[in-house]
Amino acid sequence: MTTQSDQPVLEARDLIKHFPVHRLRRRLRGRAEVVHAVDDVTLTLRSGEVTALVGESGSGKSTIARLLAGLYPVTSGTIEIDGATARGTRGRHFREHVRRVQLVFQDPFGSLNPIHTIAYHLRRPLKVHGYPTTRAALVELLEQVNLTPAEQFLTKFPHELSGGQLQRIAIARALAAKPKVLLADEPVSMLDVSIRLGILNLLAGLVKSLDLAMLYITHDIASARYFASTTLVMYAGRVIEGGPSEELVQQPAHPYTRLLLESAPDPDRAGTGPDLLDAGEPPSLVDPPAGCRFHPRCPHAMDICRTEAPGTTELRPGHWTKCWLYSASTEPVPAR
C-alpha cells in the first residue's frame, strides 16, 4: 500500500473477534448471541513507522490491540510476524509471540500492580524472556524512557509516582522484552494535557532509535495526525478508512471520518461549531446494523448501504475507504 519497499513486521489479515454473551446460558437456550467486536480487519505495521488506529470507545480498537498482543484468541483471521503465523494465546508459542509484540495500556495507575516495586515490574519481563536482570539492565531501561536518576525509581511503589512517570515505567516494561512491535492503547488519554506530548515524543523517539513498528490507538484524531504517518479509522468493529495521516485529515472521504473531524475540538473554529444535534450514537455490536454499520447515522445513506457492506475503494495511492459513495468512481464526494 505504501511505496516503501521494506517488509512489514506485523501483518494481520481479515481479523474477526466475536465475544459470546453469557456463554453457558445462551448455549443452553440454543441461541449463540455474540458481540461483533472486530469484523474483517486487515492491517500492516512496518519498522520505524507509527500507524494510528482512531475510533470511539466501543469501536473495537482496544480489542484489536489485545488480539495482536496475543491476549485474546482470534475468532478467525491470521496474524503474521516477520512472515510467520502467530499461534496460541498460552504456553511457549505465546511467550515467543509476546517477546516480539508488546502492549502499553491506557491507565498507568491501573497497569502496574500496587503491591510490587518498580524494580519488580522491570525485572519480571527480563527474567521471563531470558535476559540478564542485573541492576544495570534495569537502570538502562529506565534511562531509555528518560527517568533519571534511575536508581531512585527502582525501590519505589507505583502509588509514589505521578501518572506520567508511571506511564514511562509501563513503556520501559514493554521495552524490556526487546520487542519489534509496540502496541500503545490510548497511552496518553488518562494523563494530564501538559504531559501528554512528553510521552508521545518519547514514543516517537523510541520508534526511530529502536526501529520499532508501532500501533498507536487513540480517540483523538488530531494526535494521530501529529504522531502517525498512517491513520486508520474504525467504526463499530470495522476499519472504514485508511491512508496517510495528513491526507486523511485534510481530505476525509468516509462520512464518519468527516463527522469525527467536525466533532473534534478546534480552537480555530468560531462559535460552537457545526450543528451535530442529530448525529445519533454508535450501534449495539450484539446486533449491528446490516450493510454499512454507519448507515443509520449517515446523511448520505442510500438503499444499498442498508443491505450490503461496502468493499474497499482505493481513492489515491495508500488512501482507501469502505463506502458506497466511492465505489463507482474514485472521485471523492465533496463534504456537505
Q: Looking at residues 286 to 325 of the shown chain, list those that interact with another protein (rule: CB under 8 A).
A: none
Contact flag: residue 60 with another protein (CB under 8 A) = no
Q: Which is nearer to another protein, 190 or 210 (CB)?
A: 190
One-letter amino acid of 58: G
C-alpha cell at position 124: 519480571
Contact 53, 234 (CB under 8 A): yes
Q: Which stretch binds another protein (CB under 8 A): 41-49, 64-72, 309-317, 319-327?
A: 64-72
Q: Which is nearer to another protein, 5 or 272 (CB)?
A: 272
**Residue 4, phi then psi, degrees to nearest 5:** -65, 145
Contact flag: residue 161 with another protein (CB under 8 A) = yes
Q: Which is nearer to another protein, 102 or 321 (CB)?
A: 102
Instruction: Report in angstroms how near the CB of residue 329 gets to another protein at its nearest.
Output: 27
Q: Which stretch binds another protein (CB under 8 A): 9-17, 75-83, 194-202, 206-214?
A: 194-202
**Residue 61, phi then psi, degrees to nearest 5:** -70, -35
Residue 234 C-beta-side C-alpha neighbours within 13 Å: 31
Q: Which is nearer to another protein, 105 or 326 (CB)?
A: 105
Site string for another protein, 76-95 (x = CB under 8 A): --------------x---xx
Instruction: Report in angstroms how near the CB of residue 193 gets to another protein at its nearest.
Output: 5
Interface with another protein (CB under 8 A), residue from 13, 26, 156, 178: 156
- Positions 2 through 41 that interact with another protein (CB under 8 A): 23-24
Q: Which is nearer to another protein, 157 or 327 (CB)?
A: 157
Contact flag: residue 102 with another protein (CB under 8 A) = yes
Interface with another protein (CB under 8 A), residue from 282, 294, 295, 325: 282
Alpha carbon distance 18, 33 (integer Å): 9
Number of residues that bind another protein (CB under 8 A): 84
C-alpha cell at position 18: 466475536
Contact flag: residue 277 with another protein (CB under 8 A) = yes
Alpha carbon distance 71, 270 (integer Å): 45
Total residue length of the chain: 336
Number of H helices, E strands in the chain: 12, 12
3-state secondary structure 60-129: CHHHHHHHHCCCCCCCEEEEEECCEECCCCCHHHHHHHHCCEEEECCCCCCCCCCCCCHHHHHHHHHHHC
**Residue 181, phi then psi, degrees to nearest 5:** -120, 130
- Positions 212 through 271 that interact with another protein (CB under 8 A): 219-223, 225-227, 246, 249, 259-269, 271
Q: Which is nearer to another protein, 5 or 90 (CB)?
A: 90
